[in-house]
């Protein structure tokens, strides 16, 4: 599904060079739920931005669903992002002036789908996250957990190959965080690949696999069995993690 090999990212100012990622390797297979952890400044966000085609990289290779993205133009990356990726952010990032329906509509507009197709996808996605009856509401009228559900619906509506989540529960209380996590696990169970950055070790171990990043490099890869396809298993405590 996505593979990075020997990837490097360097931020340059006129004074210093910062190696955010170096010799970075990762391979996420179709249908996996992978969490990415690491201390602050380790390169998690840089990795997610590059994985989400929001930033370019300096060296190495990145192949997303069979497409080599190296050297791609900004427009081509935008189209690929729209077609293959879904985003969930810590701050929800809904557009406050648009109601739920129109918020979920945003990525579909850029794909040039027909009005009927968009309508069906929007309603289905909002129904899937349990907000089908509130399509005319505005984000400010919802709780944090509900807003994050809208963001998930927005990401799902485009039927992404890969769902990128950046601390999706970071701004939520425990109960809401749990329900959002359960929703993500359901989505993964239905076949969508998920790559989630998190600080929370509890959440990290709930995934099939945890990737730990330190100083811009993958420190270790830990496989966790059984898979979260089994919803019951999703609630089981972590079997093993690498600290």
Partner 1 sequence: MFHYYFLLGVRNLRRNPVLTALMVLTLAIGVAASVSTLTILHVMSGDPIPQKSQRLLVPLLDNGPARGYVAGAKPTDNQMSYRDAINLTLAKTGEHRTPVYGMAAAIEAPRPDLPVEEVNGLAVGNEYFAMFETPFLYGSAWGEAEDRNGAKVAILSRTKSEKIFGKENPVGRRVRMASQEFQIIGVLDNWNPLPRYTHLINGNGGSLSGQDEIFIPFSAAINLQLGPNGNVTCLAETNPGFQGFLDSECTWVQYWIETKSISDRAALKDNLDAYMSEQRKLGRFQRQQPAQLFNVMEWMNYLAVVSNDTRLSVWLSFGFLLLCLVNTVGLLLAKFSVRAPEVGVRRALGATQGDIFRQFLTEAGVIGLAGGLAGLLLALGSLALIAQQSKDLSVVAHMDWPMLALTVLLALAASLLAGLLPTWRACQVTPAIQLKSQ
Interatomic CA distance for residues 243 and 220, integer angstroms? 9
CB 228 within 8 A of CB 208: yes
C-beta closer to partner 1: residue 46 or 193: 46
Interatomic CA distance for residues 57 and 46, integer angstroms? 9
Contact flag: residue 65 with partner 1 (CB under 8 A)? no
Parallel/antiparallel/unpaired status of strands 193-197 and 162-166: parallel
CB of 80 to partner 1, least distance (A): 9
CB of 178 to partner 1, least distance (A): 23
C-beta closer to partner 1: residue 38 or 158: 158
196 CB contacts (<8 Å, ≥6 apart)? 33, 34, 35, 36, 164, 165, 166, 168, 184, 203, 207
Binding residues for partner 1, rule CB under 8 A, total 28
Residues in region 157-186 near partner 1 by CB under 8 A: 158, 166
**DSSP calls for 29-60:** -TT-EEEEE--TTSSHHHHHHHHTTSS--SEE
Binding mask 72-111 for partner 1 (x = CB under 8 A): --xx--xx-xxx---x-x-x-xxx-x--------xx-xxx
Residue 126: strand, helix, or coil = helix
Residues in region 31-50 near partner 1 by CB under 8 A: 45, 49
Q: Which residues bind to partner 1, rule: CB under 8 A?
A: 45, 49, 52, 54-55, 74-75, 78-79, 81-83, 87, 89, 91, 93-95, 97, 106-107, 109-112, 154, 158, 166
């Amino acid at each position: 599904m996505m593979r990075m090999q020997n990837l490097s990212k360097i931020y340059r100012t006129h004074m210093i060079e910062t190696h955010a990622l170096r010799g970075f390797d990762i391979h996420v297979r179709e249908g996996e739920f992978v969490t990415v952890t690491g201390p602050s400044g380790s390169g998690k966000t840089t990795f997610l931005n590059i994985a989400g085609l929001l930033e370019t990289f300096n060296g190495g290779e990145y192949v997303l669903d069979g497409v080599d993205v190296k050297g791609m133009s900004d427009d081509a990356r935008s189209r690929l992002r729209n077609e293959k990726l879904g985003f969930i952010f810590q701050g929800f990032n809904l557009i406050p002036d648009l109601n739920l329906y129109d918020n979920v509509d945003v990525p579909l507009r850029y794909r040039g789908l027909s009005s009927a197709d968009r309508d069906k996808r929007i309603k289905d996605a909002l129904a899937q996250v349990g907000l089908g009856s509130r399509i005319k509401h505005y984000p400010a009228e919802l709780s944090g957990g509900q807003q994050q559900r809208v963001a998930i619906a927005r990401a799902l509506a485009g039927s992404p190959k890969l769902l990128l989540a950046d601390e999706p529960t970071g701004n939520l209380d425990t109960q809401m965080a749990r329900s959002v996590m359960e929703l993500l696990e359901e989505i993964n169970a239905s076949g969508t690949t998920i790559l989630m950055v998190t600080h929370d070790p509890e959440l990290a171990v709930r995934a099939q696999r945890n990737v730990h990043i330190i100083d811009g490099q993958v420190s270790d890869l830990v496989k966790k069995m059984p898979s979260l396809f089994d919803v019951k298993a999703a609630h089981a405590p972590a079997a093993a993690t690498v600290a």
